């Protein structure tokens, strides 16, 4: 758990603010899910393959951004659950306390800096596609 109630309160406020910000961004993105730029490119006559590819790329970029925001919302909700359970700020791997500075920088962190570095070194290749 974070060192003090004041620190935990500060982190909770940060989580809540970021959660609201992300929800607003996702709502706005979904409202524009028709993606006016994409619609304009596709509906333009005659549409060539380049316009269609550009429109597809814009739509994919928008969906990727929404997916990233939704994952961050899930991380925030998991952090809130850890706060409620009383195990917020405890490293998943080693069980030691996660430093306040790390939690301040990344309130959804679930590993201490040492364990996070180790995890990144161990699993870094999983995010890189190969041919």
Supply the pLDDT for residue 64: 81
Q: How far apart are the two ends of the chain, measured CA to CA in Å? A: 44
| pLDDT in single tens digits along all 131 residues of the chain | 546 899 999 999 999 999 999 999 888 877 776 555 555 544 555 455 665 565 556 666 677 888 899 999 999 999 999 999 999 999 999 999 999 999 999 999 999 999 999 999 998 776 565 55
Residue-number span of the structural domain to which 94 is assigned: 5-127
Q: What's the length of the chain?
A: 131
Structure tokens at 27: 């709502």
Structure tokens at 107: 């309130």
> Residue 98 sits in a domain of what CATH number?
1.20.120.910
Q: Give the three-state DSSP class for 90.
A: strand
Q: Looking at the 3D structure of the chain, how many domains does it have?
A: 1
Nearest 5°: phi and psi at 62? Answer: -65, -45
Annotate 62-88 with b (16+ C-beta within 10 A) or e (fewer): beeeeeebeebbebbeebbebbeeeeb
Supply the pLDDT for residue 46: 47
Q: CA angle 115-67-91, nearest 5°? A: 20
pTM listed for this prediction: 0.72
């Amino acid at each position: 758990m974070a060192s003090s109630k004041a620190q935990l309160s500060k982190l909770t406020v940060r989580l809540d603010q970021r959660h609201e910000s992300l929800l607003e961004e996702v709502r706005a993105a979904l409202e524009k899910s028709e993606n006016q730029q994409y619609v304009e490119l596709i509906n333009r006559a005659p549409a060539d393959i380049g316009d269609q590819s550009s429109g597809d790329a814009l739509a994919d970029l928008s969906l990727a951004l929404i997916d990233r925001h939704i994952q961050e919302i899930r991380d925030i909700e998991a952090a809130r659950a850890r706060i409620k359970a009383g195990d917020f700020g405890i490293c998943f791997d080693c069980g030691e306390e996660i430093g306040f500075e790390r939690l301040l920088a990344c309130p959804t962190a679930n590993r201490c800096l040492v364990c996070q570095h180790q995890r990144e070194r161990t699993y870094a290749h999983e995010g890189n596609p190969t041919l």
